[in-house]
Structure 1
Amino acid sequence: MSYVLCLHRWVGRQALYERYGLEPGMQIRAICTAESAQSLPEDRLASISTLESLDDATAVIAEAQRLIELHGVPHRVVALNEGDLLNAAAIRERWGVPGDPCAWIERFRDKLTMLEVAARQAAIAILPAVSAEDPQAVQRLLAEHGYPLVLKPRCGTASRGVRILRQAQDLRLLQAPHAEPMMVQAFCAAPILHVDGWWDGERIVVLTASRYVNSCADFGPDSALGSIELDADEHERAIAEQVAALLAVFAGQREIVFHLELFDDGQTLRFLEIGARVGGAEIPFLWREVRDIDLVGIAWELQTEACSRQRDHARTRSRDGRPLHGERGAWVIGRRESPLRTELGTLYWAQEALPAGVPSGVYEGARTRLRLRSFDRPALVRDVERIFEHLAQTWSASA
């Protein structure tokens, strides 16, 4: 029986595989972890292979080879989480499976490659960056832009390993051993937006633009992360027009779901990074629960080519690049648990207490996870501010 090979690391229900289309008679063979296996639909599974970590590319490829030796080459290889995209592409290339190759994925994973592609358009400005392994290039960047600079992994996720170089002695970090290639980039202190949606190769079918509260790089044991969707106004429409120009150079004639991050100082948008995948944290849930659009399901369809049900539905739920439903969403996550003591009118979901040690993901491992929705954006802003104040006070008292 033919099958879809699926790399699956989410512990939660970001992906609703039981709803997604498959060719007749086809099932899923999943490579996952022991903790993520619980979120897979048993009735669609031909087999489950559990690994200690899907970050071990050698182990993932070895397990794929074992499955292929037993069951033949899969019909498609699917990876919906950013951390699995390159492994899925490597499997496709090695065994001749249709779908996105490594070179395509790398433009959305390698941040220096991203910048080279983004520089082909002029709608959104580019912050210069160089390889951390080129000392002369780093010195030229420093001479032009001064401190601070940003040191970060070229293919990192969830802001892991990001460091700020604020003075000359911090340059010693460049000589420290790193587990992956690093880059150095000019620093920007402007607020950060994330723009999420679906591009059909020619136009934006639907997107939302949201402003981070805090930043992903600042997310830590004593610092929460949040996001509030922007108003559907002229500023958002201007953002959408500039984003369309950027997507045209990244994915002209190619359909993608995307998660884009931009610096926004109120006058100029500056490129931070882009992923050809659904955003993390609470983003996929808000899209389904507030907007009735499943971006993860659309990503599944683009990788399997089994049907267009999720895309067809999304078109009925959007117009002129924006969701038809005018309600806005927001979310807050924190690494430490801190139950709210006051009711908030916009809060519609809060994570229950987690057992110790589960799950392991940066955002899924957050012990405080809150989702909010309202037609009144100022109310969302007010309630998110209250949540941040509560978390700061609670964590400060327990320090």
Structure 2
Amino acid sequence: MSYVLCLHRWVGRQALYDEYELPAGRVIRAICTPESLGSLPAARLASSSTLASLDDADAVMAEAGRVIAQYGVPERVVALNEGDLLNAAAIRERWAIHGDAPAWVERFRDKLSMLAVANRQTAIAVLPAVAADDAQGVRQLLQRHGYPLVLKPRFGTASRGVRILRQAQDLALLQDAQPEPMMVQVFCAAPILHVDGWWDGEQVVVLTASRYVNSCADFGPDSPLGSIELAEGDDERRIASRVAELLAAFAPGREIVFHLELFADGDTLRFLEIGARVGGAEIPFLWREVRDIDLVGIAWELQTEASSRYREQARSRSRDGRPLHGERGAWVIGRRASTPDAGLGTLYWSQPQELQRSASGVYEGAKTRLRLRSFDRQALERDVESIFAQLSHAWSLQA
């Protein structure tokens, strides 16, 4: 029986595999982790194999080879989490399977490749960057822009491994042995936006723009991370129009779901990064629960070509690039477990504090996870501010 090979690392229900359509007569075979096995659809799952980590590309490729030797070449390879996109592309290339190739995926995973594509448009500014092992390029960045600079992994996720170079002695970090390719970029201290949605190859069908309360790089043991969707208005429309020009450079004639991050530097938008995948943390849940649009379902359709149901649903629930439903969403996550006080009128879901589970992702592994919704954005701002204050107080008592 023909099958879809799925690389799966989520512990939760970001992907509703038991509801997504499959090509007729097909089943799912999965490569997952021991922790993520439980969130796969038992009724549709023909087989599964577990690896300690899907970050080990050699192990994933070897396991894919074993599955293919036993069951034949799959009809499709599906990867819905950012960390699995390159491995899925490598499997497709090795066995000549239809779908996104490594060169296409790298423009959304290799941050230097991203910048090269982003420089093909002018609606959104691009901060200069060079490979960390390009000594001359780093010197030129310093001569033109000075300190601080940012050192970060080219293929990193969730701001893992990001360091700020503030003075000359910090350049010693460039000489340290690095486990992965690194880059150096001009620093920007402006607030960060994330823009999420679906591009159909010609236009943005639907998107939302949100502002991080702090930044992903600040997320740590004593610092939560939060996001609030922007209010409807001119600022939101300005962002949407510029994002459309950027997406035309990245994916002309090709459909993608996307998670884009931008610096909001006054009237100037500066490119940070883009992923051809659904955003992390609580983003996929807010889209389903607040807007009744499943971006993960759209990503599944794009990779399997099994149906267009979720795309048709998204079109019917949006107009001029925005969801028809006017309610706004927000979320807060924290690495430590904490229960906010009552009286938060916009809070509609919180992760049970007694829940014990392991997750490979930084954000999915957060001990505190909160989702909020309201037609009143000011109420969202007040409640998120209150949550941050409560978490800061609770964690200071735990120190």
**Please, what TM-score do these two structures have when normalized by structure 1?**
0.99
Letter in 2 for 1:9: R
Question: How many residues of Structure 1 are paired with residues of Structure 2 in the alignment?
Answer: 399
Q: Offset of 1:321 from its aligned partner?
A: 0.4
Partner of 1:362: 362
Partner of 2:111: 111
Partner of 1:138: 138
Letter in 1 for 2:22: L
Q: What SS does the corresponding residue of 2:353 show, helix, strand or coil?
A: coil
Tell me which moved more, 336-345 or 58-67: 336-345
Q: What SS does the corresponding residue of 2:6 show, helix, strand or coil?
A: strand
CA distance in 2, matches of 1:3, 1:179: 35
- Structure 2 CA distance for partners of 1:113 and 1:27, relative to 1, 3 Å: same
Partner of 1:227: 227
Within the alignment, does 1:374 sit opposite 2:377 as a pair? no
Q: Offset of 1:357 from its aligned partner?
A: 6.0
CA distance in 2, matches of 1:342, 1:43: 39
Partner of 2:193: 193
CA distance in 1, matches of 2:83, 2:45: 22
**Please, what TM-score do these two structures have when normalized by structure 2?**
0.99
Partner of 2:393: 393
Partner of 1:218: 218
| 1:247-326 paired onto structure 2 within 5 Å | 247-326=247-326
- Structure 2 CA distance for partners of 1:268 and 1:154, relative to 1, 3 Å: same
CA distance in 2, matches of 1:159, 1:114: 16
CA distance in 1, matches of 2:68, 2:361: 28
Is the CA contact 2:338–2:353 (under 8 Å) kept in the aligned structure 1?
no
Tell me which moved more, 170-179 or 204-213: 170-179
Is the CA contact 2:194–2:212 (under 8 Å) kept in the aligned structure 1?
yes
Letter in 2 for 1:143: Q
CA distance in 1, matches of 2:45, 2:355: 27
Partner of 2:180: 180
Partner of 2:67: 67
**Root-mean-square deviation over aligned CA pairs:** 0.8
Is the CA contact 1:256–1:302 (under 8 Å) kept in the aligned structure 2?
yes
Is the CA contact 2:33–2:50 (under 8 Å) kept in the aligned structure 1?
yes
Within the alignment, does 1:26 sit opposite 2:26 as a pair? yes
CA distance in 1, matches of 2:354, 2:136: 48
Is the CA contact 1:354–1:367 (under 8 Å) kept in the aligned structure 2?
no
Partner of 1:330: 330
Poorly superposed stretches of 4+, deviation over 2 Å: 354-357
Q: What SS does the corresponding residue of 2:18 show, helix, strand or coil?
A: helix
CA distance in 1, matches of 2:188, 2:280: 22
CA distance in 2, matches of 1:134, 1:313: 47
Within the alignment, does 1:84 sit opposite 2:76 as a pair? no
Letter in 1 for 2:346: T
- 1:39-93 deviation per Cα after TM superposition (whole angstroms, max 9, x unaligned): 0110111101111000011111011001111111000000000000000000000
CA distance in 1, matches of 2:139, 2:349: 48
CA distance in 1, matches of 2:95, 2:24: 23
Letter in 2 for 1:247: L
Partner of 1:154: 154
Q: Offset of 1:266 from its aligned partner?
A: 2.6
Is the CA contact 1:114–1:273 (under 8 Å) kept in the aligned structure 2?
yes
Residue segments in structure 2 that go unaligned for 5+ positions in a row: none
Q: Offset of 1:24 from its aligned partner?
A: 1.2
CA distance in 2, matches of 1:312, 1:373: 24
Is the CA contact 1:277–1:299 (under 8 Å) kept in the aligned structure 2?
yes
CA distance in 2, matches of 1:86, 1:360: 17
Letter in 1 for 2:396: S
Partner of 1:55: 55
Letter in 2 for 1:228: I
Q: What SS does the corresponding residue of 1:137 show, helix, strand or coil?
A: helix
Q: Offset of 1:354 from its aligned partner?
A: 4.8
Partner of 1:246: 246
CA distance in 1, matches of 2:257, 2:217: 23
Identity between Structure 1 and Structure 2 (%): 76
CA distance in 1, matches of 2:185, 2:358: 34
